[in-house]
Amino acid sequence: MGGSSRPSESFKTNEQSAEKKKGFADWMNLIKPANEEKDHWVPDEAVSKCTACGTDFGAFLRKHHCRNCGDIFCDKCTSGRIALTADENAQPVRVCDRCMAEVTQRLSNAKEAANKPAGLQSHEDLARKLQEEMEKNRKSSSGSKSDGSGRRMREVACPICTVHLQVQVPSSGSETIECGVCQHPFLVSAH
C-alpha cells in the first residue's frame, strides 16, 4: 500500500514546482514592460560576449538587451536609462552607451524642432523639399532594392509629414534617420 501513495506525492511535487515556475514567470513579466517590441532583439543564443567590451557572459555575468538597437551587452555597458521617445509618459529603459548618445541627440533635436516657430519654414520650402524627396524616391525605386553598398533599401513613411522615403535598412537593430522634408528624426528597424 505504501507504494501507491508515492505517485500522487510525486505528482503533487511536480505540480507545486510547475506552479512556482509559473509564479516566477508572472513576477518576471511584471518587472519587464509588456509593451516592449522585442522583434529587433538579437537572440540570446547568438551572443556569448558583450557586443561593446567583449567580456564573456557566464553564470555571474548576465546578458542585457539594449532597448534601442537590440544588441546584447553586459550590465556595465548598458548602464544608461532613457525614454526612447519625447512622449511625457514614456518610461526610461535600458540602453547601451552608444544608443544613449544617439537617443539623447534625437530627443534634443525633436525638442528643438518642437520649439521652433511654426512659420519658420514656408510652404514653398516644404513643397520644394517634398518635390526633391519624391524625385529622389523615383530615381532610387527604378533601380534594385539595394543602394550598391550591399544594404537593403525600403520605403517608409515619415510619422510626421507622411512623405514616403527610400531608406537604407540597418543590418540589425534600428537606426535613427531624418526625414528629408520635415527633418524630423525617427527610427527604422531591421525587420
Q: Domain spans of the chain?
A: 34-115, 118-189
pLDDT higher than 70, residue 31: no
pLDDT higher than 50, residue 143: no
When the pLDDT of each residue in the chain is averaged and rounded to a whole number, the result is: 74
Task: Let me know: does 14 contact 21? Beta carbons within 8 Å.
Answer: no
SS (H, E, C) 91-141: CCEEECHHHHHHHHHHHHHHHHHHHCCHHHCCHHHHHHHHHHHHHHHHHHH
Distance of CA 191 to CAs 37, 48, 54, 97, 176, Å? 11, 23, 26, 23, 14
CATH code, 34-115: 3.30.40.10
Mean pLDDT (whole number) for 73-80: 93
pLDDT of residue 139: 65
For 35-70, the pLDDT digits (tens) are: 556 778 899 999 999 999 999 999 999 999 999 899
DSSP code for 37: -
pLDDT of residue 14: 52
Q: How far is CA 52 from the centre of its chain?
A: 17
pLDDT higher than 60, residue 33: no
More confident call, 138 vs 90: 90
> With the C-alpha atoms ordered 18, 20, 23, 25, is the resulting torsion angle positive or negative?
negative
Mean pLDDT (whole number) for 88-106: 90
- The residue whose grid cell reads 511654426 is 118
More confident call, 159 vs 92: 92
